[in-house]
């Protein structure tokens, strides 16, 4: 009776308390339907070429925004571009700036506006150029349809701009407006200068062309998607009759796009083609660069299993190729984004796990000789800047949930922590080209970000750019308990990192239900000491209803804990990670305040798959679970991601069978809610439908919510996000009774 009353009163709290009725009360409306916890905005900021000034956007006195420059050292402010200069002829309002870029000499401004979504990001739109001297504002591609240009970029001289339109590449002269079409074969299957779905999603490749440093030529990817099957998204709600949207989507084990690189003069003419294997559909061109002298192109070339990575230099005049780096791994190799040329152009930086740790190297361009720049027994997270002999990089050798800036001087210089010792947590840096300054963002899991400007390498604060005091005050005023980070030993010399949020009314003499929040795949960590935003607030809300909320990072997540930690999951995705999570849950269930009979789990995407695996494989541990946008059958996901970690289903069928939750659906015993968007172009609704059939066949009962035409984030349409999280809360209250029991 008491528990029933508690549940009813909580439901009333979810729906009836007006927003901000009580400053200390956290409600779903406050988290998902208000601006109460919105961060203060800053930027986007751009360092000017010399590195002593940066620009940012600030609201104008009238309509629109001004582009303002600040001197880093003194803080002197000047308006470079008033909003009034951004009003096109015939218009009465300035352009809405969604992104902007300066020419190298700072004399011209490229503005991206009126954008449209392509898969996850808004990468199509309109581009305008403002000449700061003449104040002339002109639109690129003026006779093209609105919102159809992509990835416009100045040439090194600032006299021309190149862009992609309908899978073809163009160059426009800013002096006279003449336009030169560089490719003419672009179509739905021949893709020039941009990418198909899977390259964008799994290699983070969208912009598919590169200016040569001398501005004379452009190198670009061409994909041939002929033979890649279309996946059909069915729309049942937006017209009288249903219709389909086809997406070129290669599912694991099926045909990929072929990829090659073209080099073409900016004045037009024939394209010189460069191919890097005899089988273009079963190898990947994952990255593309020019050498500083504009003579060679450089690619990162991966075989289809992604366990053999070569850095190939190709002389564009002779076609001669030479392999400068050749790495193999018994599991997989990640594409390296930490590729930066030294000032003299004779070497570049490279990240490698060849000795078991992610170490940063300087690689001689001619000989391939590698010189370590960072410690041999610690992971580097990323390189932040290379300025002369000084390398700035991010790492956290003592705590894999955190991130700090380090620096060293020269190949033999000792690495020194630069982030302040009295600021434990997560640090990000946008370092100036001269290496003297940085825009620094610092936060902790439950402490919103502070953005300040610091000098380097002394890390002296010059001024605060964003203090987020209003948001910090809102968070501080909440009735809540502070999150706790912990480690749990699951045996076999495996210790996992975790965080925990308890109810503010927590009584150590009572036993509480636990909700585990999971992800667990190689794409992300959940246990990170960085401002948690709405995710933190949602989990805090759950804790206030009477749950202990916990998240644990299993082996296989991309924590800076060494190669073996990350790659033990190879061909065992769904097996090793779920076993680690279950072992952690067993250990945590032994804590005196945990009720082992009330253990829940939830996750999204890979976390949705993890939830299914835990509910099906370990029904004696987990009594309730919420799986959002899961991959029940790995065979239904894409080539690049799934084959990287699970092998190819045509040669490794057991890996797919044993790793897929659908194989074990008949073992479900607890309460399960499945949530999925029917328009999910990433993790197809097809997988959930197949899982439903398996559960029905096994006579297993469950609940399900399908959101029409929503994509993977399930946020499109009024009130969608609020409804998703409200539905989850109602499930928890009904199936996992909250509150401490004596």
Contact between residue 284 and residue 203 where contact means Cβ atoms under 8 Å apart: yes
Q: What is the pLDDT of residues 540-572, one digit of tens each?
A: 999 999 999 999 999 999 999 999 999 999 999
Among 399, 434, 468, identify where a domain stops.
Answer: 468
Length in residues, the chain: 742
Tell whether 564 and 452 lie within a shared domain.
no
Whether residues 420 and 547 fall in one domain: no
Q: What is the mean pLDDT of the chain?
A: 95
Whole-angstrom distance, CA of residue 561 vs CA of residue 279: 36
> Is residue 300 a contact partner of residue 309, using CB atoms and an 8 Å limit?
yes
Q: Is residue 520 included in any domain, yes or no? A: yes
Structure confidence by residue, pLDDT tens digits, 162-205: 999 999 999 999 999 999 999 999 999 999 999 999 999 999 99
Model confidence at 531, in pLDDT bands (50, 70, 90)? very high
609, 662 contact by CB (below 8 A): no
| Cβ-contact 92, 79 below 8 angstroms | no
In a domain, 33, yes or no: no
pLDDT, tens digit, 9 for 90 and up, residues 62-81: 889 999 999 999 999 999 99
Shared-domain flag, residues 438 and 349: yes
Does 119 have pLDDT greater than 70?
yes
**679, exposed or middle or buried, with CB in 10 Å at 0-12, 13-18, 19+?**
buried
Do 358 and 501 belong to one domain?
A: no
- The whole-number average pLDDT for the span 351-357 is 97
Check whether 304 has a pLDDT greater than 90: yes
pLDDT at 21 over 90: no
User: Partners of 310 in the beta sheet?
Assistant: 301, 326
Residue among 566, 559, 560 at smallest CA distance from 377: 560
Give me 184's structure tokens. Answer: 């003419």
Core vs surface per residue 727-739: b (16+ CB within 10 A) or e: ebbbbbbebbbbb
Mean pLDDT for 314-339 is 97
The domain boundary, picked from 410, 433, 468, lies at: 468
The domain that holds 346 is classified in CATH as 2.120.10.30
| Span 655-675, average pLDDT | 98
Residue 699 lies in domain: 482-735
Work out how many domains the chain is built from and give that number: 2
pLDDT of residue 19: 40
Query: Contact, 573 vs 661, CB < 8 A?
Result: no
Q: Is residue 657 part of a domain?
A: yes
Q: Report yes or no on 238 lying in a domain.
A: no
Give the Cα separation of 104 and 108 in Å (integer). Answer: 9
What's the rounded Cα separation, in Å, for the pair 404 and 378? Answer: 13
Q: Report the CATH number at residue 524.
A: 3.40.50.1820
Asked whether residue 367 is domain-assigned, the answer is yes
The answer to whether residues 540 and 591 belong to one domain is yes
Residue 592 lies in a domain: yes
Arithmetic mean of pLDDT, 641-650:
98
Q: How high is the pLDDT of residue 409?
A: 64
Please state, in angstroms and as integers, the Cα–Cα distance from residue 25 to each residue in 14, 266, 483, 724, following that order.
11, 60, 17, 20
One domain, residues 620 and 517: yes
User: What was the pLDDT predicted at 389?
Assistant: 85
Strand 460-466, strand 484-491: pairing:
unpaired
Q: What is the pLDDT of residue 368?
A: 96
Same domain, 537 and 596: yes
Tell me the pLDDT tens digit for each residue of 429-484. Answer: 999 999 999 999 999 999 999 999 999 999 999 999 999 999 999 999 999 999 99
Confidence of residue 14 (pLDDT cuts 50, 70, 90): very low
My answer on whether 499 and 411 are in the same domain is no
Question: pLDDT at residue 323 above 60?
Answer: yes
Would you say residue 656 lies in a domain?
yes
How sure is the predictor about 414, in pLDDT bands with cuts at 50, 70 and 90?
A: confident
Question: Could you say which DSSP state residue 184 is in?
Answer: -
* Residue 40 within any structural domain of the chain: no
Q: Please tell me whether residues 425 and 564 are part of one structural domain.
A: no
Q: What is the mean pLDDT of residues 48-71?
A: 94
Sheet (strand 283-290) strand order: 283-290, 296-303, 308-315, 321-328
Position 679 scores a pLDDT of 97
The model's pLDDT over 265-290, given as tens digits with 9 standing for 90+, comes to: 999 999 999 999 999 999 999 999 99
Domain endpoint, select from 468, 501, 531: 468
Q: What is the per-residue pLDDT for 412?
A: 60
Tokens read off for 320: 């001669």
Give yes or no for residue 1 having a pLDDT over 50: no
Percent of the chain surpassing pLDDT 70 = 96
Same domain, 508 and 617: yes
Query: For a pLDDT cut of 90, what percent of the chain falls above it?
Result: 94
Q: State residue 5's pLDDT score.
A: 27
487 and 459 both lie in a single domain: no
CB–CB of 516/547 below 8 Å? no
Residues 411 and 529 in one domain: no
How far CA 260 is from CA of 222, 280, 300, 328, in Å, comes to 6, 7, 12, 22
Closest-CA residue to 562 (of 372, 424, 380, 329): 380
């Amino acid at each position: 009776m008491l528990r029933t009353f508690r549940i009813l009163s909580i439901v009333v709290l979810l729906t009836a308390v007006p927003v901000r009725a009580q400053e200390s009360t956290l409600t779903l409306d406050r988290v998902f339907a208000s601006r109460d916890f919105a961060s203060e905005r800053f930027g986007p900021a751009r360092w000017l070429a010399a590195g002593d000034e940066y620009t940012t956007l600030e609201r104008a006195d009238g309509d629109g925004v001004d582009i303002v420059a600040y001197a880093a050292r003194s803080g002197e402010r000047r308006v470079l571009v008033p909003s009034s200069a951004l009003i096109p002829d015939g218009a009465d309002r300035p352009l809405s700036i969604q992104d902007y870029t300066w020419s190298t000499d700072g004399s011209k401004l490229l503005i991206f506006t009126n954008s449209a979504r392509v898969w996850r990001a808004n990468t199509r739109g309109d581009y305008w150029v403002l000449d700061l001297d003449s104040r002339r504002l002109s639109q690129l591609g003026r006779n093209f349809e609105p919102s159809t240009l992509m990835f416009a970029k100045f040439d090194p001289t600032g006299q021309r701009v190149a862009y992609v339109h309908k899978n073809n590449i163009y160059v426009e002269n800013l002096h006279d407006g003449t336009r030169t079409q560089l490719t003419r074969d672009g179509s739905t299957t021949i893709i020039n200068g941009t990418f198909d779905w899977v390259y964008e999603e799994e290699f983070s490749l969208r912009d598919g062309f590169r200016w040569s440093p001398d501005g004379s030529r452009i190198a670009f990817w061409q994909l041939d998607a002929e033979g890649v099957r279309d996946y059909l998204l069915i729309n049942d709600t937006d017209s009288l009759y249903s219709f389909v949207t086809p997406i070129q989507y290669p599912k694991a084990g099926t045909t990929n796009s072929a990829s090659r690189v073209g080099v073409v003069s900016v004045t037009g003419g024939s394209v010189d083609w460069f191919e890097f294997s005899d089988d273009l559909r079963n190898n990947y061109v994952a990255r593309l660069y020019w050498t500083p002298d504009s003579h060679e192109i450089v690619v990162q070339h991966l075989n289809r299993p992604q366990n053999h990575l070569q850095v190939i230099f190709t002389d564009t005049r002779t076609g001669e190729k030479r392999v400068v780096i050749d790495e193999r791994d018994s599991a997989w190799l990640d594409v390296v984004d930490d590729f930066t040329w030294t000032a003299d152009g004779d070497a570049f930086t490279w990240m490698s796990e060849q000795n078991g740790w992610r170490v940063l190297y300087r690689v001689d361009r001619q000989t391939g000789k590698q010189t370590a720049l960072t410690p041999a027994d610690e992971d580097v997270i990323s390189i932040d800047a290379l300025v002369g002999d000084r390398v700035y990089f991010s790492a956290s050798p003592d705590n894999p949930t955190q991130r700090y800036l380090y620096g060293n001087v020269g190949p033999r210089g000792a690495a020194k922590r630069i982030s302040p010792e009295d600021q434990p947590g997560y640090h990000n840096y946008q370092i100036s080209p001269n290496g003297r300054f940085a825009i620094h963002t610092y936060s902790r899991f439950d402490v919103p970000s502070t953005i300040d400007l610091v000098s380097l390498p002394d890390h002296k604060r010059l001024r605060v750019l964003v203090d987020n005091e209003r948001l910090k005050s809102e968070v501080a005023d909440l009735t809540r308990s502070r999150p706790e980070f912990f480690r749990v030993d699951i045996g076999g010399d495996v210790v996992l990192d975790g965080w925990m949020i308890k109810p503010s009314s927590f009584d150590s003499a009572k036993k509480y239900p636990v909700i585990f929040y999971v992800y667990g795949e190689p794409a992300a960590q959940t246990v990170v000491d960085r401002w948690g935003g709405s995710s933190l607030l949602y989990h805090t809300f759950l804790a206030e209803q009477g749950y202990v909320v916990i998240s644990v990072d299993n082996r296989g997540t991309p924590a800076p804990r060494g190669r073996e930690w990350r790659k033990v999951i190879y061909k065992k995705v769904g097996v090793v990670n779920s076993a680690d999570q279950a072992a952690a849950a067993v250990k945590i269930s032994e804590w005196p305040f945990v009720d082992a009979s009330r253990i829940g789990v939830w996750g999204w995407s890979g976390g949705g798959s993890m939830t299914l695996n835990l509910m099906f494989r370990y029904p004696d541990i987990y009594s309730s679970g919420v799986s959002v946008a899961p991959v029940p059958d790995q065979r239904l996901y894409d080539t690049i991601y799934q084959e990287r970690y699970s092998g190819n289903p045509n040669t490794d069928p057991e890996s797919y069978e044993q790793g897929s939750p659908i194989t074990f659906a008949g073992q479900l015993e607890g309460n399960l809610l499945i949530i999925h968007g029917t328009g999910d172009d990433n993790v197809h609704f097809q997988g959930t439908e197949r899982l439903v059939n398996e559960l029905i066949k096994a006579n297993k009962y469950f609940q399900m919510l399908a959101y029409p035409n929503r994509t993977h984030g399930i946020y499109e349409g009024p009130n969608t996000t609020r409804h998703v999280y409200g539905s989850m809360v109602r499930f928890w209250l009904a199936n996992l009774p909250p509150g401490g029991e004596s």
